[in-house]
Structure 1
């Protein structure tokens, strides 16, 4: 019989590595703009260092305050995976700290997204592996289970599937379905190029701003001449 809620699923499909790394260095905001402002992991989950995040999702669902399945996930995940943990947003007990993160980095893990708490943040701030979490507490975790590995999870309002492409920076994290990734990548590259042109115009003082009044007029904004009062 199955043991629902306490299971480790087998391997899952990962997108080609070249597709994942093609998003390297692209601002998350530009990617999100080309996804109709969707699939952003919620604002509660923030970075604890400045290391950029990119990789494939390796998902974990755990009981709040318990990291037994997270320990197993670190041993199972492949180099280039980002371990994403649904700890239900609870910050009573830290799910991860310096020792686990250091071991994960040794194994080639590309980062952590913790829908819960972390600790040892003074060290994490100096590390080169990205760590995102809801909060921090010195209180350590339990190691009793239950939990599940490699299943769809919810991370602060966004569903994350095993193998999804994850890109994160100081603004936050975006979740990309690998099937949509080539089209999103093409559109985002055009956005990056367009913004580079705008930045040049800004520095020259030639940025065309006529579109602002045009948009206001189109939407029916009333302009009142206050100088005649």
Structure 2
């Protein structure tokens, strides 16, 4: 990503949605962008793990965990798998764990916070459907842009 989100918004604001929720930047890469892939799940990260273990080709996985901070939807081993498989980043509307280890990885990570508690592994959830976070639609295939200022999504 070469342009900052503020500059992108100044140039193309009518074509972009801005996420107002104040996600924390927790990965080793503060600036990242790519085509959107999605997961919707609640306190169950089996689908997140499964998808991030496949080739990412520079995509960003957007995980709608309904804002739950009761358990982590990604830890260091899943994040390492994402790096190994070529994912640009992960945005989690929920919590992660292993913040220090994830912060050392070449992976963009935005999340609401952290919790050391593991999530369930039942495989509940849906993949590659439009998810809405804070009134912003994340449509698979469209582009998401992330940096220190926030998150922008193509309309």
**TM-score in terms of structure 1 length:** 0.63
Q: Distance in 1 between matches of 2:73 and 2:63?
A: 9
Higher helix proportion, which one? 1
Q: Aligned residue for 1:55?
A: 34
Identify unmatched segments of 5+ residues in structure 2.
none
- Give the count of matched residue pairs: 153
Tell me which of 48, 54, 68 is aligned to 1:70. 48
Give the structure with the higher percent strand.
2
Residue 50 of structure 1: how far off its partner (Å): 5.2
Match of 1:107 among 81, 85, 106: 85
The answer for the alignment partner of 2:7 in structure 1 is 30
**1:162 paired residue number:** 140
Does the CA contact (< 8 Å) of 1:44 and 1:156 recur in 2? no
Query: How far apart are 1:49 and its partner, in Å?
Result: 3.5
Unaligned runs of 5+ in 1: 1-23, 178-229
CA distance in 2, matches of 1:146, 1:92: 16
Q: Shift of residue 123 of structure 1?
A: 1.5
Larger Cα Rg: Structure 1 or Structure 2?
1
Q: 1:76 to 1:128 in 2, by over 3 A?
A: closer
1:86 aligned onto 2:64: yes
Q: What secondary structure is seen at the aligned counterpart in 2 of 1:133?
A: strand
Selected match of 1:96 from 64, 74, 81: 74
TM-superposed CA distance for 1:38, in Å, is 5.3
